[in-house]
Amino acid sequence: MQSVNIGVLGLGTVGSGTVTVLRRNIEEIVRRAGRGIEITRAADRTLDKQRDYDVSGIDITTDAFDIVNDPNIHVVVELIGGTGIAKDLVMQAIEQGKHIVTANKALIALHGNELFAKAQEKGVTIAFEAAVAGGIPIIKAMREGLSANRIEWLAGIINGTGNYIMTEMRDKGRDFPDVLAEAQALGYAEADPTFDVEGIDAAHKLTIMASIAFGIPLQFDKAYTEGISQVSQEDVQYAAELGYIIKHLGIAKQTEQGVELRVHPTLIPHRRLIANVDGVMNAVLIKGDAVGPTLYYGAGAGSEATASAVVADIVDVVRALTSDPGNRVPHLAFQANALADTPILPISAVVTSYYLRIHTDDEPGVLADITRILGEQGISIEAILQKQPASHGGTVPVIILTQAVVEKNMDMAIQDIEALTTVKESVMRIRMESLG
Amino acid sequence: MQSVNIGVLGLGTVGSGTVTVLRRNIEEIVRRAGRGIEITRAADRTLDKQRDYDVSGIDITTDAFDIVNDPNIHVVVELIGGTGIAKDLVMQAIEQGKHIVTANKALIALHGNELFAKAQEKGVTIAFEAAVAGGIPIIKAMREGLSANRIEWLAGIINGTGNYIMTEMRDKGRDFPDVLAEAQALGYAEADPTFDVEGIDAAHKLTIMASIAFGIPLQFDKAYTEGISQVSQEDVQYAAELGYIIKHLGIAKQTEQGVELRVHPTLIPHRRLIANVDGVMNAVLIKGDAVGPTLYYGAGAGSEATASAVVADIVDVVRALTSDPGNRVPHLAFQANALADTPILPISAVVTSYYLRIHTDDEPGVLADITRILGEQGISIEAILQKQPASHGGTVPVIILTQAVVEKNMDMAIQDIEALTTVKESVMRIRMESLG
């Protein structure tokens, strides 16, 4: 089957990430999509830019309309942003019968109603997973995964810059202007931070999520927006004393009177999972009447994280174009004839760190014996905790955290430790994972 | 367009939830699916059971094969469980050309390869979102949402019973046998807890997730499984001292040698989000090469939570049967002609609790003035924190947490408070949400 040809409009942060991710993982992506996918053309502001990623074989032009009008392009990926030229390009591409993938939240929040009507008229689809919460597949989760539910409310940390600032204010006791200046220096915040810090970006995303949750047209102009610039260190500390953490949340709620749509600083009880989403990370908490609360967490911005959503949308479009409707998505994600024969490893071949609890007699030299045995198996020690004699029989619990080692070496070490005359009980071993 | 007819096999916990959720939310579900969906037949062990949910209009039989062979049934929902009769029924239904929705993890983990091959031959789909992590749309997230990524590893808390036990051991300092006995009394654990506590149930789910993540056939027999019954209170405490929390994790990891597939107790650094997933809740953390880590959290079991995934799968099947491939899923989740005109409320009509920070002169009677004003607006006080005079000008910060009130009343109260001669600065107001 012929490959699907993609035209990418805009080779900035997300555009370069999209080219990079699609090319790096093309083998797995084709196994999933069931068809070749090729970025054949791209538009950029300038042609003589230095690029630190592979654009070989891509016809790059400065004339984005030329791509939109190209009959050989099947899917147009709009990554220019804003509501000016981007809107004209998308409208023209729809007019030409092309499917659209976009990461443009402002475009969808402000002009989505018009664009979707046009797309329906022309029988094409507009995919916009990347417009909300970057790489987190939140649109898909709400639109398909939770379709059984009446959504009661949702609340999201959907601006990474704002969350970075709030996290620094709490963790380091710093004030807003100080953290903002640093975020600007680090490139986390724009020179004009209004869009992020005053909640406009979050309101775009919230508007989109609310429409999907409640089945209402997009109404960005009705969203209430309040920024975080007025929150002081004093407030952060008083909130903490009272058991709360302040987050900049976008909240949409179905009430009997209507829909609440609001972005503002919010106190949340400190033990809630969403209160512990820190730094530039995003998370969305959704309350459905059947499923209860579910939460989705991940990177809300960044080149490859956003590209992850863009490319997933491309795969979605390609699957729809390609397969029979009943088997659009393969049962095991990859096409049935494309499963790999990678072996499953026996546990003895697995590499992890370990927690060991060893009850020994309270005699000199025991620890030396144990550390010698571990050393013989090439096992490095991360930490040792030697406790006071426990109640049962005067043995001393020795707790050891090790560095990573293959399990069969640990098996041998434990065998040797248990053979020591000073060790009377089996060694308790629990594997450790940093999950970082 | 004619409604899609559903036959439900099994009216136990998940079956009754499925009937309940589909019927309660039928109006929204049809707005999403674009077509009527009706449970016309169901099979149960006995006909004269007392049912506390509405089964009117459903033809209930004890002969499940009669439903499977019924030409008027389009989709068979298998909620019997196990790998005996359930497998025969599903095979026969596929043979009859029916689409399958199932919550049966054992069936998929053990016989999925055979079932999927048969389904592909017959041109039908088998949907099994409910088989892993209950109501969390984790299959969809991995299979579609993360399709751009090379998945490096995933780690999940995917057995609620086990997580409840580990949480109680940590929070209450109780021992395993004690908590297990209570969980059994509360109905969280089965009379024979082996399946949950020894990790077999988790290994079923892990096997399914690993195949989807890495594109390999289902290989339950290769999974390493270790339970939590050997973990003692002593270990929980030593782990805590060292900065770790012990969770019963299912872990699948792609390595150069092969795939690791293992369920065992695991120490995790205590600040990781997944380490703070408590009680019967489930969560899956997935590391993709492009998106980085993403986490999915929610109820992993229960009648309506599992039904949420079953019904979402039904909607998926119906959307595929109904719409043109390019527009399978409506842009805003609901069909374009089915959007609602629910109004968006102005912020003045929103009801929340508040945090107020008021800097007052250090004079007697100020607090009485403030509480009087709040009372006049019908605002109840949850907590008051009066601080020592701050550095700036000897004013005293008074922090008040209120109960929920409509915002326009709070606006009036703040206006009155700011008019007090003893109040020199604007009142800082931050909204509070419990998100519970």
pLDDT tens-digit profile, chain B (436 residues): 789 999 999 999 999 999 999 999 999 999 999 899 999 999 999 998 889 999 999 999 999 999 999 999 999 999 999 999 999 999 999 999 999 999 999 999 999 999 999 999 999 999 999 999 999 999 999 999 999 999 999 999 999 999 999 999 999 999 999 999 999 998 888 888 999 999 999 999 999 999 999 999 999 999 999 999 999 999 999 999 999 999 999 999 999 999 999 999 999 999 999 999 999 999 999 999 999 999 999 999 999 999 999 999 999 999 988 876 666 788 888 888 888 889 999 999 999 999 999 999 988 889 999 999 999 999 999 999 987 765 556 789 999 999 999 999 999 999 999 999 999 899 999 999 999 8
A238 touches B399 (CB < 8 A): yes
C-beta of residue B160 within 8 angstroms of C-beta of residue B248: no
Query: What is the predicted pLDDT for the residue at B392?
Result: 53
In chain B, residues with a C-beta closer than 8 Å to the C-beta of A277 are 273
Estimate the crossing angle of helix A26-33 against helix A13-24, to 10 degrees.
80
Contact B25 A148 (CB under 8 A): yes
- What is residue B393's predicted lDDT score, i.e. its pLDDT? 60
> For B435, which residue in chain A has the nearest alpha carbon?
A268
Question: In this complex, do A266 and B431 lie within 8 Å of one another by their Cβ atoms?
Answer: yes
Catalytic residues of A: 205
CA dihedral sign of residues B117, B118, B124, B128 = negative
Contact B427, B349 (CB under 8 A): no
pLDDT lower than 70: segments of chain A? 324-327, 389-393
Within 13 Å and on the Cβ side, how many CA atoms surround A25? 27
B contacts of A434 (beta carbons < 8 Å): 268-269
User: How many angstroms separate the Cα of A177 from the Cα of each of A170, A266, A370, B144, B221?
Assistant: 14, 19, 54, 41, 57
What 3-state DSSP class applies to A216?
coil
Helix axes A160-172, A176-186, angle to 10 degrees: 130
Q: Report the predicted TM-score, pTM, of the whole model to 2 decimal places.
A: 0.94
Q: Do A297 and B292 touch (CB under 8 A)?
A: no
> How many CB atoms neighbour CB B375 within 10 A?
12
Q: Which domains does chain B have, with CATH numbers?
A: 4-134+304-338 (3.40.50.720), 138-299 (3.30.360.10), 347-432 (3.30.70.260)
Question: Cβ contact (<8 Å) for A155 and B433?
Answer: yes
Q: Which residues of B touch A209 (CB under 8 A)?
A: none
Q: What is the pLDDT of residue B391?
A: 56
- Which residues in chain A touch residue B261, judged by CB atoms under 8 angstroms apart? 344-345
Q: Is B378 exposed, middle or buried (0-12, 13-18, 19+ CB in 10 A)?
A: exposed
Q: Strands, E, within A46-175: which ranges?
A: 59-61, 75-78, 99-102, 126-127, 151-157
Are B435 and A272 a contacting pair at CB < 8 A?
yes
**Residue A389 confidence (pLDDT):** 66
> Which segments of A25-148 does DSSP mark as H helices, in order?
26-33, 64-68, 85-95, 105-122, 138-140
* DSSP bridge partners of A75: A6, A99
For residue B78, which of B317, B87, B305 has the smallest C-alpha distance?
B87
- To the nearest whole Å, the CA of A427 is away from the closest chain B CA by 11
Residue B363: its pLDDT value, please?
83
The whole-angstrom distance between B193's CA and the closest CA on chain A is 21
Check A260 against B350: CB less than 8 A apart: yes
Nearest of A333, A308, A328 to residue A318 by alpha carbon: A328
The Cα B134–Cα B207 span in angstroms is: 15
Return the pLDDT at B424: 86
Distance from CA of B67 to the nearest CA of A (A): 21
Check residue A344 and report its DSSP letter: B
Contact assessment for residue B101 and residue B314, using Cβ atoms and an 8 Å cutoff: yes
Among A53, A57, A72, A54, smallest CA distance to A3 is for A72
A27: nearest CA partner in chain B: B150
Torsion of CA A398, A400, A406, A408, to 10 degrees: 0
In chain B, which residues have their Cβ closer than 8 Å to the Cβ of A28? 150, 215
| Backbone angles phi and psi of B346, in degrees to 5 | -70, 155
**How many residues can be counted in chain B?**
436
Closest chain A CA to residue B222 = A344
Q: What is the dihedral of CA A251, A255, A260, A266, to 10 degrees?
A: -40
Chosen for mutation from A94, A255, A433 (greatest number of chain B CBs closer than 10 Å) is A433
At residue A241, what are phi and psi to the nearest 5 degrees?
A: -60, -35
> Are B146 and A332 within 8 A, CB to CB?
no
Long-range CB contacts for residues B377-381, cutoff 8 Å, separation at least 24: B377/B405, B377/B409, B377/B410, B377/B412, B377/B413, B378/B405, B378/B409, B379/B403, B379/B405, B379/B409, B379/B410, B379/B413, B380/B405
Conformational region of residue B234, where left means phi above 0, alpha means psi within -120 to 50, and beta covers everything else? alpha
Of A120, A276, A349, the CB nearest to B273: A276
Structure-block tokens of residue B299: 């109820």
Q: Which residues of B touch A140 (CB under 8 A)?
A: 137, 140-141, 144-145
Cα(B428)–Cα(B73) distance, rounded to whole angstroms? Answer: 61
Å from B35 to nearest chain A CA?
Answer: 13
Going across the sheet that includes B37-43, the strands are: B59-61, B37-43, B4-9, B75-78, B99-102, B126-127
Burial of residue A177 (CB within 10 Å: 0-12, 13-18, 19+) is: exposed
Question: How far is Cα of residue A335 from the mean position of the Cα atoms in its chain?
Answer: 25
User: Do B342 and A298 lie within an 8 Å CB cutoff?
Assistant: no
CA angle B167, B171, B175 (to 5 degrees): 75
Q: Chain B residues with CB inside 8 Å of A31's CB?
A: 215
> Chain B: nearest CA to A371, how far in angstroms?
19
Say if the Cβ atoms of A430 and B112 lie within 8 Å: no
Closest of B378, B291, B141, B388 to residue A304, by C-alpha:
B291
